[in-house]
A = this chain, B = another copy of it.
């Protein structure tokens, strides 16, 4: 409980507090000998600087918040990891928060981050209205929207071109000769999923005799995918290929089809979207559209840091990364 402050260190090293602070922050200003003396004092006392005091004095922190929809979702954790790596590389710390897809919790996360006086926030918004973004920015907090297009918003954004991703997927299936297609997505169609569908529909229009039926499931989970498999088989005519809005759904579909004795891809081709770790190791390794998750997080973090550093003189950037096709065995 011995609260060791910079003051004790100073006394022990026989210098002033200002000097200790300099050793900590601008060591080059301090003479070699003094520096060493202070360093050993710090060591001996086991001093750890009080970040709160530091922040209070400086008025801001080298800390950025990352608000994701669900920490238990590998997609988000990969993005978060990319973001954290970029932040660490620039000497920033990351504060990871989950909104659990709840507007209320998202709100609480943002308040928490505001109280911490973070200098920026990366967020996959569940219910972030323009005025809330404006409020954050008015406080001098850089905001980068993750994976949301909302270009009207007064903030930077980093996203993946999901429409292109949807096109890529459908074009692949069409190239394989499939004409009766199905799309499985979620009822509460999140923006990225809608874009994928838009891209898919756009690609479909290029080929006259191709058709696509859309199935809405309650969630983007493997369980939902399993149910979708049954609905797919009930369809007449049965589609020969399915594009799932994410890998979780696709894995559920593939596994359930295999259980039901339907051969993938011979009797039904299945494509996913995301390329999560499991995609490679599904019952039938999943052909999917890879999102550059780590790169997305990294880029977003860099943008936030740039905005936080530039201060006022800042033009919002809208970065768009393009996903790519990963061909495995399911299609």
Q: Which residues of A contact B (CB under 8 A)?
A: 1-3, 46, 48-53, 55-56, 59, 61, 71-72, 74, 77-78, 80-81, 84, 93, 95-96, 98, 111-112, 114-117, 135, 138-140, 221-223, 225-226, 251-252, 255, 258-259, 277-278, 280-284
B3:A223 contact, CB within 8 angstroms = no
Show 17 A/B contacts (Cβ-Cβ < 8 Å), sorted by A. Answer: A3-B59, A48-B115, A49-B115, A50-B56, A50-B115, A50-B117, A51-B52, A51-B117, A52-B56, A56-B56, A71-B96, A72-B78, A93-B112, A222-B277, A223-B280, A225-B281, A259-B283
Bound form: Cα–Cα A280–B248 in Å: 12
Closest to A280 in B: B223
A76 to chain B, nearest CB (A): 9
Bound form: Cα–Cα A3–B57 in Å: 13
Closest to A1 in B: B140
B117:A52 contact, CB within 8 angstroms = yes
Bound form: Cα–Cα A77–B51 in Å: 26
- With known contacts A48-B111, A258-B258, A278-B278, A2–B138 Cβ distance under 8 A: yes
Bound form: Cα–Cα A322–B110 in Å: 37
Contacts of A96 in B (CB 8 A): 71, 96
Contacts of A284 in B (CB 8 A): 259
Bound form: Cα–Cα A114–B49 in Å: 8
User: CB < 8 Å: which of B93, B258, B281 contacts A223?
Assistant: B281
Contacts of A259 in B (CB 8 A): 283-284
Bound form: Cα–Cα A204–B193 in Å: 50
Bound form: Cα–Cα A95–B97 in Å: 8
Bound form: Cα–Cα A252–B277 in Å: 11
User: CB < 8 Å: which of B77, B225, B278 contacts A222?
Assistant: B278
Closest to A140 in B: B1
Closest to A252 in B: B281
Interface centre among A111, A115, A135 (most CB of B within 10 A): A115
B51:A116 contact, CB within 8 angstroms = yes
Bound form: Cα–Cα A53–B116 in Å: 10
A75 to chain B, nearest CB (A): 10
A225 to chain B, nearest CB (A): 7
B56:A53 contact, CB within 8 angstroms = yes
A308 to chain B, nearest CB (A): 12
Contacts of A74 in B (CB 8 A): 72, 74
Contacts of A71 in B (CB 8 A): 71, 77, 80-81, 96
Bound form: Cα–Cα A3–B206 in Å: 55
Closest to A84 in B: B98
Contacts of A98 in B (CB 8 A): 81, 84
A133 to chain B, nearest CB (A): 14
Contacts of A81 in B (CB 8 A): 71-72, 98
Closest to A111 in B: B48
